[in-house]
Amino acid sequence: MLFIDRPGWLHKLHPFTKLVLLLLSAALAYLTGLSIGSLSLLLAACLLLIISGGIFSVSAKMVIRIFLPLILFMVPIHGLLNPANTTEIFSFHGIVFYREGLFFALKTLMQLGVVISASLAFVFTTHPADLITAVSHASGSISIGYLLGFPLLLLESMRERVVTIQNAQRARGLEIDGNIFRRFTSLGPLLFPLLIGSIVGIEQRSIALEVRGFKIHGPKTSLRLVPDSLLQKLSRRLMLTLAVILPMLHFFR
């Protein structure tokens, strides 16, 4: 779970408000044909969001981890090899670096930067349980909330089960460490018990859910309170409208 539990205005926002904000950021970055200048303003706004939300340090670590390899690959590759390259910036022993490729790489990285920083703002400040509750409330179906939440929760239990199976297989003499080939050949004895265990577990889990009244008719309540407000509801509508209209305006211009 990536959620960071700390007080902050972003944490208090309804999950859907943050989701729509993420959607709007992605639409602006990719579908409205923003220039590098406008994109840098949008990126700065996302950065401001992260700083004011109190998640800067953890987001910065994640962004560096994602972007450093991308910068190291994309900038030289496009600067040197992009088919649109015409304007030379500098050359070194016959290797020519071009302006068009550099700008293309920068624009792509900035678009990605906007979406990733908005996504991080969402995942670091939204408890998955709040999202599941909000989805269940909005859809009126507990099953949809379950479909969303179960994989998130099961991941942790699966990880623990993998460690148990790994230890059991190691104890039987299976070599699961070493080179890629050896690791690949040991995948079968690791994956099959995990898969079979999970399938067997599903039957019992479905019984456990039924006996807790999963399909019981009548109104349902929620222990978890996900606060919403009229202002947020209006903001969501406005942002959704912008996310649809602005790309359309760009498309038909």
- Rounded to a whole number of angstroms, the minimum distance from the CB of residue 4 to another protein is 14
Among positive and negative, which fits the CA dihedral 41, 23, 101, 106? positive
CA dist., res. 177 & res. 180, Å (int): 9
Residue with tokens 């996900």: 226
Contact 227, 14 (CB under 8 A): yes
Among positive and negative, which fits the CA dihedral 209, 212, 218, 219? negative
Q: Which is nearer to another protein, 173 or 219 (CB)?
A: 219
CA dist., res. 2 & res. 124, Å (int): 6
Q: Which is nearer to another protein, 99 or 127 (CB)?
A: 127
- Rounded to a whole number of angstroms, the minimum distance from the CB of residue 74 to another protein is 38
- Rounded to a whole number of angstroms, the minimum distance from the CB of residue 16 to another protein is 19
- Rounded to a whole number of angstroms, the minimum distance from the CB of residue 158 to another protein is 10
Q: Which is nearer to another protein, 191 or 208 (CB)?
A: 208
- Rounded to a whole number of angstroms, the minimum distance from the CB of residue 24 to another protein is 28
CA dist., res. 118 & res. 17, Å (int): 12
Q: Residue 226 gets which letter from DSSP?
A: -
Contact 50, 119 (CB under 8 A): no
- Rounded to a whole number of angstroms, the minimum distance from the CB of residue 7 to another protein is 17
Q: How many residues does the chain have?
A: 253
Contact 195, 101 (CB under 8 A): no
Q: Which is nearer to another protein, 74 or 129 (CB)?
A: 129
Q: Which is nearer to another protein, 212 or 253 (CB)?
A: 212
CB atoms within 10 A of CB 71: 14
- Rounded to a whole number of angstroms, the minimum distance from the CB of residue 216 to another protein is 4
As a whole number of Å, the end-to-end CA separation of the chain is 43
Please report, as ranges, the residues that interact with another protein according to CB under 8 A: 1, 127-129, 132, 142, 145-146, 149-150, 153-154, 156-157, 160, 201, 204-216, 218-225
Q: Which is nearer to another protein, 48 or 207 (CB)?
A: 207
Residue with tokens 């099959």: 192
Q: Which helix (H) or strand (E) holds 53?
A: none
Q: Which is nearer to another protein, 67 or 146 (CB)?
A: 146
